Amino acid sequence: MYMIYLVLAVLILHVISLPLIISVVADVDSDADTARLCLKLFFIPIFVKKTNVEGVLDRVIEKTNDGHSQHEQNDKKSKSNGLAKKFLTAFAWSMVRRIRVRDIELDAKLGLGDAAASACTVGTLQILTEQIKAFFGYAGGQTNISPDYETECIFFDFFGIISICFGDIIYAVCAAILNVISNRTRQRRYYANTVTE
């Protein structure tokens, strides 16, 4: 009987420490008017989305406009959803900190129709890319971001491989719960001290 428990414990520990390998492929080409996003788990596609670039931009503009018009309605709902938002924020931050980057390849070409704006935007994107790689502690990979000074175009080709374990997910959930509990306790102590004064 003890041998069964031992075997189950070893299997559970193996599953918890098993790295989940996730690869991300994203392509945007304004000349061909195509955009594609593909997520793979162990190189098996689990999410594939293809659309046109103009449709994506129209949806972003619509969401921005709807966000301004529904701001007052969201204020009423924000009080009830505050705890869930704090938990999800803490969970996402813990997950991001435990992600291990295995490969990053980026090939991009950006033109805004103005040479100065294109150069500044490309420089900013290069700095942002290097900062993201430094945050994850990844020094390899190939990144090539070049400006197009004459035309308005967006070409973006990204490939990345990241890994995370089930144990990291469990750790992130526990860290998020402890963070929410400690914040609630801190707020109650502050409120009690304010009322007492």
Q: Please give the Cα distance from 91 to 84 (Å, whole number).
A: 10
Query: Does some domain include residue 44?
Result: yes
pLDDT tens column, 64-95: 666 555 555 555 455 556 777 888 888 888 88
- The average pLDDT across 174-185 equals 83
Query: Does some domain include residue 87?
Result: no
Per-residue pLDDT, 60: 58
Q: Please give the Cα distance from 157 to 144 (Å, whole number).
A: 10
- Residue-range definition of the domain harbouring residue 155: 20-64+99-166
Query: Does some domain include residue 42?
Result: yes
* Overall domain count for the chain: 1
The answer to whether the CB of 157 falls within 8 A of the CB of 6 is no
Enter the DSSP assignment of 92. H
pTM of the predicted model as reported, rounded to 2 decimal places:
0.65
Cα–Cα separations (whole angstroms), residue 150 to 112, 119, 160: 8, 12, 30
pLDDT tens column, 120-129: 988 998 898 8
The answer to whether the CB of 34 falls within 8 A of the CB of 27 is yes
Query: Does some domain include residue 155?
Result: yes
Query: Does some domain include residue 50?
Result: yes
Query: Does some domain include residue 149?
Result: yes
Query: Does some domain include residue 129?
Result: yes
Structure tokens at 116: 């100065």
- The average pLDDT across 140-163 equals 87
Q: Please give the Cα distance from 105 to 38 (Å, whole number).
A: 15
User: Does residue 42 have a pLDDT over 70?
Assistant: yes
Average pLDDT, the chain: 80
Q: Please give the Cα distance from 67 to 169 (Å, whole number).
A: 31
Query: Does some domain include residue 76?
Result: no
